[in-house]
C-alpha cells in the first residue's frame, strides 16, 4: 500500500488501536490495590497499652502482601498536662498476630505523672495484586 491509498488510513488506525489495547491489557495485568486500616489509642503517663488493628481482606487472596507500622506521637499543643518526652516512651512489641490477620502493637509511656498522654498509632496495609488468584 502507498501512503495515499484509500486503505492506508484504516490500517494505520487499526494498528494504533491494537497497540493501545495491548498496552492497556499489560497495565491491567500488573496493577495492584492497596487498602489501609488505622487505629489510635492514648497512653497516659506511666502506663502500657496494646492496640490491635485488622488487615483489610486478611488472608482472602493468596497473592496479597501485608505490612504494618506502629508509631508514638506527641500530643497536640494545648492539651492538659506538660509536654511529654518521646525519648521516655517506647514500643515494646509490634507485629502480625493470629496467623497474619491482625497487627498488634504494645507501647509504654515512661513519662512522669502530670504529663500529657502520648498517642500510639497503628497503620496496616494490604496490597492485593490483580487479577486475584
Query: pLDDT at residue 17 above 90?
Result: no
Say how far apart CA 26 and CA 19 lie, in whole Å.
11
Query: pLDDT at residue 1 above 90?
Result: no
Q: How confident is the model at residue 47 (pLDDT cuts 50, 70, 90)?
A: very high
Please check whether residues 16 and 81 belong to one and the same domain: no
Query: pLDDT at residue 24 above 80?
Result: no
Please check whether residues 71 and 100 belong to one and the same domain: yes
Please check whether residues 15 and 79 belong to one and the same domain: no
Please check whether residues 97 and 124 belong to one and the same domain: yes
Query: Residue 133's pLDDT is what?
Result: 67
Please check whether residues 24 and 49 belong to one and the same domain: no
Please check whether residues 49 and 24 belong to one and the same domain: no
Cell (9 digits) for 11: 490500517
Please check whether residues 25 and 56 belong to one and the same domain: no
Nearest CA-CA partner of 56 in 35, 32, 34 = 35
Query: pLDDT at residue 15 above 70?
Result: no
CA–CA distances in Å: residue 126 to residues 5, 32, 63 = 54, 10, 11
Please check whether residues 41 and 98 belong to one and the same domain: yes
* H helix intervals, 1-133: 8-29
Please check whether residues 15 and 75 belong to one and the same domain: no
Ranges 7-21, 52-66, 103-117, most confident: 103-117
Query: What is the residue range of 44's domain?
Result: 32-129
Neighbours of 39 (CB within 10 A): 16
Say how far apart CA 39 and CA 65 lie, in whole Å.
20
Q: How many structural domains compose the chain?
A: 2
Please check whether residues 13 and 53 belong to one and the same domain: no
Query: Residue 66's pLDDT is what?
Result: 94
Query: Residue 77's pLDDT is what?
Result: 82
Please check whether residues 44 and 100 belong to one and the same domain: yes
Say how far apart CA 26 and CA 66 lie, in whole Å.
24
Please check whether residues 46 and 36 belong to one and the same domain: yes
Query: pLDDT at residue 18 above 80?
Result: no
Q: How confident is the model at residue 26 (pLDDT cuts 50, 70, 90)?
A: low
Amino acid at each position: 500500500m502507498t501512503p495515499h491509498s484509500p486503505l492506508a488510513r484504516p490500517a494505520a488506525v487499526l494498528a494504533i488501536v491494537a497497540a493501545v489495547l495491548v498496552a492497556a491489557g499489560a497495565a491491567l495485568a500488573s496493577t495492584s490495590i492497596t487498602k489501609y486500616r488505622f487505629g489510635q489509642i492514648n497512653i497516659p503517663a506511666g502506663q502500657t497499652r496494646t492496640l490491635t488493628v485488622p488487615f483489610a481482606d486478611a488472608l482472602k487472596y493468596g497473592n496479597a502482601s501485608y505490612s504494618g507500622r506502629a508509631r508514638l506521637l506527641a500530643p497536640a499543643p494545648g492539651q492538659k498536662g506538660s509536654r511529654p518526652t518521646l525519648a521516655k516512651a517506647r514500643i515494646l512489641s509490634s507485629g502480625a498476630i493470629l496467623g497474619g490477620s491482625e497487627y498488634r502493637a504494645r507501647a509504654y509511656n515512661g513519662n512522669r505523672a502530670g504529663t500529657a498522654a502520648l498517642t500510639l498509632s497503628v497503620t496496616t496495609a494490604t496490597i492485593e495484586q490483580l487479577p486475584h488468584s
